[in-house]
Amino acid sequence: MEFLQQLVNGLSLGALYALIAVGYTVVYGIIQLINFAHGEVFMIGAFGALSTWLIIGSANDNLSLWLLPVMLLGGAIASVGVALLMERYAYRPLRNAPRLAPLITAIGVSIFLQELVRLFYGEVPGFPDAKRAIPFPQIDYVTGPAINVGGLVIQRAALFTLIALVICSIILFIFINRSRLGRAMQATSQDPDTSRLMGINVDRIIMLAFAIGAALAAVAGLAWGLRYTNIDFRMGFVAGLKAFTAAVLGGIGNIAGAVVGGLVIGVVEAMATAYIPGRFGGSAWKDVWAFVILILVLVFRPQGLLGSRVVDRA
């Protein structure tokens, strides 16, 4: 029973990483850009949801369920807006530059967004010290007492995260494989030059990819706040790095692989915390073991768990 409990805990944590990792994958699949600022887009989504609560529902400590979609919409608007501005003014001018240039730019954008949120919330009444964790509102039915199912204790926020991952994955799969815009995204990812000749607006498709990734990150940001009851301006760095690890672990550019990679990272962290004894176990070492798994996979299967090996032809 203890093993099943740790498995459930790991899957719920991995669902958070998977939501962010899919955003990495969607953008990388279109323009082969590793957007290290995506973790900060996730953070912006959480702060956008918090700002929505401050504007609409801050009079109540426990909020009604109706405010959940409103907070999600506020977080999505904030994260998508930031992602589109990032694409237009930071990445698009460097699209034909050497690959190191947008990579360094992404790191700079990441630091810029962290400091922007810290300084902005330091001016908001009630948050004089934005360097500390900021309490996140709790919502009726989504947070509260845990659910006991056959001896398994499931946190409501963890259940919300898993359900959100399933719903978002299904919607994204249908959109990419059944819609006209989704087929345009597939064509652009395979050959952007030919796609332009066929009448596809490649710039618009790239913006759509950034918007989809940002919206998924906003869902993860809301889920993170509900799960941990607080957020801070640094939260995107480690979570984004774990999500990037999940994307590489599953096979960079493969959406199903990003989901699997995120779940694997979450389970590895939970199991390492519970079962590795001595000084190399416990929560302090969970990040180490997660990255050890990544190293092993890259050594023995560089294309990732679900990725396909690419052969260069003469």
Residue 209 makes CB contacts below 8 A (sequence gap 6+) with 26, 27, 29, 30, 31, 185
Note the pLDDT tens digit of each residue in 144-183. 888 888 778 889 999 999 999 999 999 999 999 999 999 9
C-alpha dist (Å) from residue 180 to 8, 166, 189: 37, 23, 14
- Left (φ > 0), alpha (ψ -120 to 50) or beta: where does 155 sit? beta
Lowest mean pLDDT segment, chosen from 81-95, 117-131, 243-257, 264-278: 117-131
**CB–CB of 47/121 below 8 Å?**
yes
Give 275-288 pLDDT, tens digit per residue: 887 677 777 788 88
Residue 185: which of 213, 157, 165, 208 has the closest Cα? 208
Check whether 126 has a pLDDT greater than 70: no
Dihedral (CA of 262, 258, 208, 120) sign: positive
Tokens 């798994």 -> residue: 293
CATH of 2-300, one of 1.20.1070, 1.10.890, 3.40.50, 1.10.3470: 1.10.3470
Half-sphere exposure of 312 (CA within 13 A, CB side): 1
Mean pLDDT over 247-276 rounds to 88
Provide the residue ranges of all domains of the chain, joining segments of one domain with +. 2-300
